[in-house]
A and B are shown apart, each in its own frame.
Chain A
Amino acid sequence: MKIVAICGAGVGTSGILKVNAERVLKRLDIDAEVTASDVAGVADAAADAQVILTSPELVDKIGKTFADVVIIENYFDLDELERKLEKALG
């Protein structure tokens, strides 16, 4: 299982999303690899990913993908992340 967190610069916000996604996956007892990437690298980074995590602002920039695109509004709300990840993975 692979999950990719996407942001514009590939550092900073996607890192926060990655850290918090890992915490939620632990809570859900799901084994998955979470990586962070910038928008430019999304095609490569998400080629074999099941889920892409990102901001509502970046959805249009992601382009064609087979992964589930999960939009996170509040990056610090672990309950929102858990709810949305559980739905995408379940």
Chain B
Amino acid sequence: MSLPPLPNSAIDLGADAGTWRDAVRLVGNALERSGATETSYTDRMIEVIDEFGAYIVIAPGLALAHARPGSDVLREGLAVVTLAEPVAFGHPHNDPVSVVLGLAVPTPETHVTTVAQLANVFNDASAIPAIAAATTPDEVRRVFDADN
């Protein structure tokens, strides 16, 4: 049981995003580049936030962008974007966001083990600052691998 692979194509460090929409699009692009999703999945991740608000900002500085499973999810995928300048998503406590995770799962059942692994990684409070400060993909992968 492990997280989806994090190839270099799924990691975008020190990126520029003017708004939360830009930030989610960047992480959607990373998922797409890594072969996990099609463009419409990125649009759907943005729609979730338009509809339900910034609840995806689940910890200080961290957004978990995702949408429901669908045919635009080609395989399970994880992507990481860090922002040169943090952006506000509109969350009352956890803004601004400097680390955006993108998650894509092909079926509701597959996501259970993945989110359990994500919880293992991020229940360690040092994980978000470590990813925000990473300058190479290897440093990011080390944070995700630490618990596995």
Query: A residues engaging B (CB < 8 A)?
Result: 7-13, 15-16, 18-20, 23, 39, 54-58, 61, 73-78
Contact = CB atoms under 8 A, between A and B. Distances in A.
Given A11-B68, A11-B111, A20-B123, A74 B59 contact: yes
A90 B11 CA distance: 44
Given A7-B55, A9-B66, 20 more contacts: A8-B48, A9-B48, A11-B105, A11-B111, A12-B64, A12-B103, A12-B111, A13-B55, A13-B64, A15-B112, A15-B115, A18-B115, A23-B119, A56-B55, A56-B91, A57-B52, A58-B53, A73-B94, A76-B123, A77-B125
B111 A56 contact: no
A75 B90 CA distance: 17
Q: How large is the interface on B (under 10, 10 to 19, 20 to 34, 35 or more residues)?
A: 20 to 34
Contacts of B123: 20, 76, 78
Given A19-B119, A75-B59, A8 B54 contact: no
A12 B93 CA distance: 20
A55 B55 contact: yes
B108 A11 contact: yes
A15 B52 contact: no
A56 B59 CA distance: 12
Given A58-B55, A78-B123, A12 B115 contact: yes
Contacts, number: 85
Contacts of B56: 8, 12-13
Interface of B: 48, 51-56, 58-60, 64, 66-69, 90-94, 103, 105, 108, 111-112, 115-116, 118-119, 122-123, 125
Nearest to A73: B93
Given A9-B48, A19-B116, A39-B52, A74 B58 contact: yes
B31 to A, nearest CB: 13
B115 A61 contact: no
A62 to B, nearest CB: 11
A10 B108 contact: yes
Contact of A57 (B91, B119, B122): B91
A75 B127 CA distance: 14
